[in-house]
Amino acid sequence: MSSIPAGIGRVPNLLQRQLSLANLTRTNLALLNVQEQLSTMRQVNRVSDDAVKAAMIGVLDDRLERTGQRIRNIEHARAALGDMDNSLGEVNTLALDAKEIAASMASTGFSASDRASQAIIVDQLISALYSQANRTSVAGHIYGGSQPGMPPVREFRGGYRFVASGAGVTADLGLAAGVPITLGPNNPVGATSARVRGSADLDPDLTATTRLADLRGARGLGVSLGTINFSFNGGPSASVDLTGADTIQNVADRLTAAIRQYETDNGVTVLGPGGVSVSGESLSIDVPAGGALRFADIPAGVTARDLGLAAEAPFDFTSATPTGVALDPTLTWTTPIAALQGTGGPLGQIRVRSAGGSAVIDLSTATTLEDVRNQIEGTGLGLRVVINNAGTGIDVLTEISGTRAMAMSIEEVTGNNSTATRLGIRSFAGSTRISELNDGRGVSVVDGVTNPTTGLPDPTLNTDFAITLGDVAGTRITIDLTPADMTTVQNVVDRMNAQISAQLVSAGLAPGDLVVSLSPDGNGIRLTQNAVFPGSIGIEQLNNSGAARDLGLSAGSYDGSTGSYQGVDTAKVRVNNLFTHLIDLREALRGNDVSGMSIAGESLDAAIQSLADLRGLVGGYQQRVEASDAVEEDARTMDLTIRSELRDLDVAEAASRLSLLQTQLQAGMQATSLTMSRTLLDFLM
């Protein structure tokens, strides 16, 4: 309570007034604080009120703000995933409708006009799919990948081009981080996975501009930079710090500077005129005859070994062994063409076909891998070039869903030293897997058929097709392929040549009178007979085998001027998505092609299964979102409770304190009034 101490009854009036005013001020200040607390309903309004509580409240405020943002993200993700699930459901419905049409129209009893009318319905389903593919949600275009702001599917040269890229936009949901709210290209609606996978290791050399980040390193673990030691002819050791180096040239410059300083300090000649340079995939150091330069890592360091300057078994750079361990550079778009050992020489022309068009591309002027990409993509045929995940070669992707005539192929051009093959991007090459032919259906052969009378395997029932030569005798050669032969195109060619050669000799002809090879211009298998034979080559299917058809021989043509029979390309690359399958069904219905309807129905069935899997995955994402929502709400409730206990006011206690302070102020003012009214006469009387 405000009062005047009894021990200062006789003091100067000024001191009395100061003491009384101070007591009243303290009471007024306390009264002001409690009034502020009651008006704000908070017991801590500033750091000075309670520093410890204020610090804890600040931490909780930050956590609550982050939680609030995650809860908003959850609501956003919930809405986006709901739209995604609805879209996938509608796509699944139209795929089921198309499958039903394929199944019914492939049966007997329907005329060409009946099927043509159903093609109109399928065309409407394609339009509906186009609308769904460009459908938007709160997150942008559902199938837009990492670019949801732009429509992912566009009409292109009579087909549909899927231009989106990236895995998709993800939402930050705390514990459920990484939930995608848009879909990337690899889905049944918008796949762009159809590609010619580079079969050649282009094996780039090291260059001065090669970045250290683009090296696998001598240990295959990249390059870790730090300090390394070196010595010459067993002399004193010196060190060089390579931290911060970005390119091979940076490393060479620092090594050169350190070695030159070593030469000055020790009066020796370590570097020859070649200095520090590159050779193949390794660093090279010119050391004069009789010298031996050795590098070593500092304790716990690996830089020298990563750069191929040292190894587990120590070695020296000498005039006889000037190179270190290979650093295995990866491909980048800036890699010079001249540095690609895997190409085996200068590049020439290649031919690409896609989206119903074709272009001959002259790569002889390309100086870097970027130039190769720009020229292929610049054809305007809906192609995209990427470096493969291993960094060893390039893949060419088609983004176009269309008819079979719009499929992609990459071919050789005669007289260009097999440029497409050397780049590893020829679509019908010797290394092409048989399982990749005919849209992934491979090649069907007859095998293991037994004679119904003897019960033993009968060779005549297991032959797949016959080749009739154009000689006067019309020599007939049979080809029997087995499932074991169905590995690569080159293996099939070799098996055919082996059987042809043996039968030619038996027929009294020379082994080279009929040779099977890959076409030197374009794609497909070529059969070349002796130029003096007057007739043409014929192909006959046997035992209902699909081998001749699937290898592209049944639909081939004979060129009398060259004496060769050219098969068609069955390795053309097509996008495997719903647009492609619906277009195939529409074309099969228009052409009254029952077999095509069945194939399209099978493809649609696989797409429907993929849609079911994708919807299940989206459902899993939705469950993660709901689980995350529950976790965030629980965390928010707990943080709010703790913050309330620290910050919020106990109203009853504050009201009692207000009443007490009011009484205290009144008593202090009364006591001050009585004290200040006393005069000297009161003491004298």
Residues 629, 594, single domain; the answer is: yes
pLDDT digits (tens, 9 = 90+) for 336-367: 999 998 888 899 999 999 998 999 999 999 99
Is the pLDDT at 392 greater than 60, yes or no? Answer: yes
Residues 160 and 96 in one domain: yes
pLDDT tens, residue by residue, 535-544: 999 999 999 9
Residue 637, CA atoms < 13 Å, CB-side half-sphere: 6
Q: What is the pLDDT of residue 500?
A: 95
pLDDT in tens, 206-239: 999 999 999 999 999 999 999 999 999 999 999 9
Q: Is residue 42 in a domain?
A: no
Tell me if 591 is assigned to some domain.
yes
* Euclidean distance between CA atoms 446 and 431, whole angstroms: 23
Q: Which residue has the higher pLDDT, 313 or 45?
A: 313
Q: Are residues 263 and 289 in the same domain?
A: yes
What does the pLDDT read at residue 685?
A: 57
469 with 539, same domain: the answer is yes
Contacts of 272 (CB under 8 A, 6+ apart): 286, 287, 288, 319
Distance of CA 191 to the CA centre of its chain: 13
Q: What is the mean pLDDT of the chain?
A: 89
Residues 505 and 534 in one domain: yes
Of 10-14, 15-19, 455-459, 576-580, give the lowest mean pLDDT range.
10-14
- What's the average model confidence in pLDDT over 358-379? 94
Are 518 and 585 contained in the same domain?
Answer: no
- Domain interval for residue 533: 459-566
Where do the H-state alpha helices sit in 399-526? 419-423, 437-440, 459-462, 489-506
Which residues, other chains included, contact 137 with Cβ-Cβ below 8 Å and sequence gap of 6+? 79, 80, 83, 84, 87, 181, 182
Stretch 602-621: mean pLDDT, rounded? 91
Show the tokens assigned to 475: 């020599």
Asked, for residue 188, whether it belongs to a domain, the answer is: yes
The reported pLDDT for the residue numbered 96 is 95
If asked whether residues 81 and 119 sit together in one domain, one would say: yes
The answer to whether residue 164 is domain-embedded is yes
Select from 566, 600, 621 the last residue of a domain.
Answer: 566
Note the pLDDT of residue 189: 86
User: What is the number of structural domains in the chain?
Assistant: 4
User: What radius of gyration, in Å, describes the C-alpha atoms of the chain?
Assistant: 41
Question: Is 653 inside a domain boundary?
Answer: no
> For residue 352, what pLDDT is reported?
95
Sole residue written with tokens 């090296």: 215
Q: What is the pLDDT of residue 286?
A: 95
Is residue 60 over pLDDT 70? yes
Same domain, 80 and 181: yes
* Predicted pLDDT of residue 115: 92
Question: Could you give phi then psi for residue 180, rounded to 5 degrees?
Answer: -75, 140
Specify the pLDDT at position 9. Answer: 54
Is 122 in contact with 593 (CB distance < 8 Å)? no
The verdict on 134 and 187 lying in the same domain is yes
In contact, 282 and 218? CB cutoff 8 Å: no
Helix (H, G, I), strand (E, B) or coil at 294: strand
Q: Are 232 and 293 in contact (CB under 8 A)?
A: yes
In a domain, 98, yes or no: yes
Same domain, 83 and 153: yes
- Residue 184 CA to residue 60 CA, distance in Å, equals 37
Residue 322 lies in a domain: no
Average pLDDT over residues 18-24: 77
pLDDT at 53 over 50: yes
Q: What is the pLDDT of residue 683?
A: 58
Assigned domain for 28 exists? no
pLDDT band at 163 (very low <50, low <70, confident <90, very high): confident
Q: Which of 408, 427, 446 is the last residue of a domain?
A: 427
pLDDT at 664 over 90: no
Q: Which one, of 513, 521, 329, lies nearest residue 421 by Cα?
A: 521
**Whether residue 590 sits in one domain with residue 557:** no
Give the model confidence (pLDDT) of 325-344 as tens digits. 999 999 999 999 999 988 88
pLDDT at 453: 80
CA atoms of 546 and 464, how far apart (whole Å): 7
Number of helices (H) and strands (E) in the chain: give both, helices first.
15, 25
Per the DSSP assignment, residues forming a β-bridge with 276 are: 285
pLDDT of 1 above 50: no
Domain boundary among 539, 566, 593: 566
* Two tokens, residue 484: 């074991």
Reduced to 3 states (helix: H, G, I; strand: E, B; else coil), residue 442 is coil
Provide DSSP, 226-252: -EEEEEETT--EEEEE-TT--BHHHHH
Give me the mean pLDDT over the 290-304 stretch: 94
Token duo for residue 194: 């159809």
* pLDDT one-digit tens code per residue, 412-437: 999 888 999 999 999 999 999 999 99
- 534 shares its domain with 620: no
Tally of residues, the chain: 685
Domain of 118: which CATH number?
1.20.1330.10
Backbone dihedral angles phi then psi of residue 237, each to the nearest 5 degrees? -95, 145
Tokens 């007591």 belong to residue: 23
